[in-house]
Amino acid sequence: MSEKTDIGRELDGVLQKPKRQLAMVFDLNKCLGCHTCSISCKRQWTREEGMDNMWWAVVNTMPGKGTPKNWEGMGGGWDEKGEPRPSKIPTRDEFGDAWKFNKEEVFHGGKGKTVYLKPVNTKGEDPDWGPNWDEDEGGGEYPNSHFFYLPRICNHCTHPACLEACPRGAIYKRDEDGVVLINDKQCKGFRFCMEACPYKRIYYNHVRDVTQKCIFCFPRVEKGVAPACARQCPGRLRFVGYLDDENGPIHKLVHKFKVALPLHQEYGTQPNVYYVPPLSPPAVDMHGKVDPSKPRIPTEYLEGLFGPRVKDVLAVLEAEKEKKAKGLPSELMDTLIVYKWPENIFPDFVQDPANL
Ligand code: SF4
Ligand code: SF4
């Protein structure tokens, strides 16, 4: 049956409409690129056998090749007619291997002054790619070089390509909160989901022959604790909540102020992770003359990521920022600033995990 999505496109396929939908908003103007989110997720969920190269929560430098390398060119998701787009399964090398370091030699071999830490991949070779290989490289030409950080997790989509691709019925979307999960007893490691997901946010566990991905920290959210990536984030940019909670920050940023946009909505999976796009300083010429009409991050580049509404959103953010600078009230800026942590950023998930 064909249905109309909230971005106005007719889609064939079964939209997964849970009773409530958990969502995240990432304010890209606040991300420090510190990777605390990636590390807290890694420590919590991906320490078992076969998970060594998994990073369910990554932070990519943009413009950049991302994780896995060049994922935006791999295909997946749905085309304009709602048909599955051709795609490929990303390889372990494209995700970036788990490296080993010569720690024994450096720390215990008595050669600390002559040898230094050096990584090798699982083939015993010098690595030539990793999840953050092109970190801080960015794009543009001097003096208008630019970059920003783009944190990425599974989007817990409403039209999840991964779910429809699984011939085992191992992927499901929870009715109570819309979290997309893989039942690993049901999964046989066919990897159709890895092929179908256009965001390439599913990993293959070669030891257990199953696929694994972000679980939105469901054992934590069930106890009122925010996901680890969001709770630990020192930039306090990862908002968490239900889309239908009109008093919550998610509803306000996505539906009321309309400043949070999905990444590559044209992939057709209806992601439930949204981004406040990054503002940038104005461009300058070689003599240092500022051109306020041109932002340093080209708007066309941001439109390629977040769609045609980017320009309007950036204009709203600038205008509200100006208001705040003049001492005028701005509910939007107050929402983005997060004066009270944790209640302003994930109001339903304020429990401290240390007290459980
Ligand atoms: S981001 Fe990919 S893995 Fe996550 S729900 Fe969407 S299609 Fe599935
Ligand atoms: S922890 Fe927060 S500030 Fe640090 S990289 Fe992750 S999202 Fe950005």
pLDDT, tens only, 157-212: 999 999 999 999 999 999 999 999 999 999 999 999 999 999 999 999 999 999 99
CA of 181 to the centre of ligand 1 (A): 9
Predicted confidence (pLDDT) at residue 337 exceeds the cutoff of 70: yes
CA of 42 to the centre of ligand 1 (A): 19
Q: Does residue 146 contact residue 255 with C-beta atoms inside 8 Å?
A: no
CA of 100 to the centre of ligand 1 (A): 30
pLDDT, tens only, 97-150: 999 999 999 999 888 789 999 999 989 999 999 999 999 999 999 999 999 999
User: Average pLDDT of the chain?
Assistant: 95
Residue 132 CB less than 6 A away from ligand 2: no
The pLDDT value recorded for residue 109 is: 81
Q: Does residue 215 contact residue 45 with C-beta atoms inside 8 Å?
A: yes
Strand 273-276 versus strand 22-27 pairing type: parallel
Cis, peptide link before residue 151, omega less than 30° from 0: no
Q: Report the atom number in ligand 2 closest to the C-alpha of 35.
A: 5
Euclidean distance between CA atoms 23 and 26, whole angstroms = 10
Q: Report the atom number in ligand 1 closest to the C-alpha of 214.
A: 4
Mutate to test the pocket of ligand 1, among 21, 267, 269 (most ligand atoms within 8 A of CB): 269
DSSP bridge pairs for 202: 213
Alpha-carbon torsion 65, 71, 74, 76, what sign? negative
Predicted TM-score of the model (pTM): 0.95
Predicted confidence (pLDDT) at residue 258 exceeds the cutoff of 60: yes
pLDDT, tens only, 38-90: 999 999 999 999 999 999 999 999 999 999 999 999 999 999 888 999 999 99
CA of 218 to the centre of ligand 2 (A): 20
Residue 235 CB less than 6 A away from ligand 2: yes
CA of 37 to the centre of ligand 2 (A): 5
CA dihedral angle for residue 267, residue 273, residue 274, residue 278, rounded to 10 degrees? -100
Ligand minimally distant from the alpha carbon of residue 33: 2
Residue 29 CB less than 6 A away from ligand 2: no
